Amino acid sequence: MYNACVTVIGGGLAGSEAAYYLASRGVKVTLVEMKPKKFTPAHSAEGFAELVCSNSLKSNDIYANACGLLKEEMRILGSLVIEAADATAVPAGAALAVDRERFSAYITEKLRALPTLTIVNEEAETVPIPQTDGGRYVIIATGPLTSDALSKDISALCGGGLHFYDASAPIVAKDSIDMSRAFTGDRYGKGTGDYINCPMTKEEYYRFVNELLAAEKVELHDFEKREIFEGCMPIEVMASRGLDTLRYGTLKPVGLFGEDGKRPYAVLQLRKETVLGEAYNLVGCQTNLKFPEQKRVFSLIPALKNAEYLKYGVMHRNTYIQAPSVLNRDFSFKNNSKLFFAGQITGVEGYVESAASGLLAAIKIADEILKRPTHVFDERTVCGALQTHISTPQKDYQPMNANFGILAPLPQRIRDKRERYRALAERAIEAVKAEKAKEQ
């Protein structure tokens, strides 16, 4: 056992969030991270909280989007991840997108500055089981790409594991985009014109889709179609559902108008990857195509004809445990109240949701160590609704993003969706502030 009150295994979003919350409140924490000695197939940078898929943390609108509301709940509770995202944000309309390198560097610097935090760079191959009657705690936050040895040990501890496939989108250099074939702007004029829009005619769209369907894909030997998570569906899989599927989804032109004032037949949006705007992400274009095929197929979009690819999209397997069978609402292990799990390995899906689980696990542990009143988050809050999701028995447990549908209904019926969401958000914020006040 590592010499600390709390040992956190994994330096991703959930692990970084948990370690910072506890250590910044004087709790002795050991953060165990195998990078830079060993990397997963999707990781390449040495810093903590590396973002491996998109650079977007989704909507920042508190009153219209549950993920935006979750961010606000986390701000109230003192989230390092949301603080870092706000500090390293890049223009992205109503979304909160970040400069990946600055985001990771911000969190890494904050963690390394904590005197009560010890960082150990080594691979944890087994779960360090704490004594239930002792004063030590363990948080497993190794993410969906947990190393093979530790994954095997977790699987044995939890009675098996589940998995699905996740994918990321390509990134291109800004100066290689043909702006004469593109225009800037956000849907319905919202935001400050942060997206680059790459329009297609009807002929260009159907040619793109047909070539996308015919392109060579990377072979995944144990791949099964049912294991693809809907939230990160590869664009070629979406296209296989019908020739017009992309035009009503990823490439929908709704709310976008070119310089001629007309709406294109289809549009691919590009979002800034960095503060300086020298790199752009192909929004919604997660893919499992072979690298040369990505370049060939996406170059059929006129604005990307000569695009330079700074990073190609990749697909990888994500693992999560059968949380309702083994975890309590506070993310503690049913067979050991001093052992916690956090992050995507628990079955929450998304950057913000993963960080939130680490924050919630840390809050529970801090309540016990610091002997302060216990925080209780119910389904009026997104935090509480996610806790309910990971602990409620269900026949087909699947990863879950934040959404208004998992919140407890309002006592009164509000027909207008915008007004209903606003009422749900105001109620949630009030509830979280009441829990935060317990720390005073």
pLDDT of residue 162: 64
Structure tokens at 324: 């309702």
Domain boundary among 313, 337, 367: 313
pLDDT of residue 438: 86
Domain-embedded: residue 341:
yes
Shared-domain flag, residues 363 and 278: no
Per 3-state DSSP, the chain is made up of helix, strand and coil in percentages (nearest 5) of: 35, 15, 45
Count of structural domains, the chain: 2
Give the HSE-up count for residue 1: Cα atoms under 13 Å, Cβ half-sphere. Answer: 16
Would the pLDDT of 223 be above 70? no
* pTM for the predicted model, two decimal places: 0.76
How far, CA to CA in Å, does 274 sit from each of 5, 304, 366?
A: 37, 19, 35
* CATH number for the domain harbouring residue 185: 2.40.30.260
pLDDT of residue 278: 79
Domain-embedded: residue 239:
yes
pLDDT digits (tens, 9 = 90+) for 374-417: 999 999 999 999 999 999 887 767 777 898 888 998 999 898 98
Those residues whose C-beta lies under 8 Å from the C-beta of residue 198, and which sit 6 or more positions away, are: 177, 181, 182, 267, 268, 269, 270, 301, 302, 303, 304
Shared-domain flag, residues 383 and 286: no
Section 314-336 average pLDDT: 88
What CA–CA distance (Å, rounded) separates 218 from 292?
11
State how far Cα 44 lies from the chain centre: 17
Query: Is residue 217 packed enough to be buried (19+ CB in 10 Å), middle (13-18) or exposed (0-12)?
Result: middle
What CA–CA distance (Å, rounded) separates 347 from 287?
22
Shared-domain flag, residues 107 and 157: yes
Shared-domain flag, residues 150 and 69: yes
Domain-embedded: residue 65:
yes
Would the pLDDT of 232 be above 70? no
Structure tokens at 326: 């083994």
Q: Tell me the pLDDT band of 36, cut-offs 50, 70 and 90.
A: confident
Shared-domain flag, residues 153 and 13: yes
* CATH number for the domain harbouring residue 62: 3.50.50.60
Domain-embedded: residue 1:
no
CB 353 within 8 A of CB 229: no
pLDDT of residue 1: 45
Higher pLDDT, 1 or 142: 142
CB 167 within 8 A of CB 286: yes
Domain that holds residue 411: 6-164+318-439
Shared-domain flag, residues 279 and 323: no
Would the pLDDT of 117 be above 80? yes
Domain-embedded: residue 356:
yes
Query: Is residue 41 packed enough to be buried (19+ CB in 10 Å), middle (13-18) or exposed (0-12)?
Result: exposed
Those residues whose C-beta lies under 8 Å from the C-beta of residue 220, and which sit 6 or more positions away, are: 165, 288, 315, 317
Those residues whose C-beta lies under 8 Å from the C-beta of residue 360, and which sit 6 or more positions away, are: 330, 331, 342, 377, 383, 386, 387
**Amino acid, single-letter form, for residue 163:** H
Shared-domain flag, residues 148 and 226: no
Domain boundary among 258, 279, 313: 313
Domain boundary among 259, 293, 313: 313
pLDDT of residue 320: 84
pLDDT of residue 198: 97
Would the pLDDT of 229 be above 70? no
Higher pLDDT, 258 or 98: 98
Shared-domain flag, residues 298 and 373: no
Return mean pLDDT, the chain: 89
Domain-embedded: residue 225:
yes
CA angle 372, 369, 356 (to 5 degrees): 80
Section 109-136 average pLDDT: 93
pLDDT of residue 295: 95
Shared-domain flag, residues 408 and 339: yes
Q: Tell me the pLDDT band of 158, cut-offs 50, 70 and 90.
A: confident
Element (H, E) at 311: strand 309-311
Section 212-219 average pLDDT: 90
Dihedrals φ, ψ of 345, to 5°? Answer: -65, -20
Q: Tell me the pLDDT band of 164, cut-offs 50, 70 and 90.
A: low
Peptide bond into 36 cis (omega under 30): yes
pLDDT of residue 310: 82
Shared-domain flag, residues 49 and 142: yes
pLDDT of residue 43: 60
Shared-domain flag, residues 299 and 200: yes
Shared-domain flag, residues 350 and 227: no
CA angle 387, 390, 393 (to 5 degrees): 120
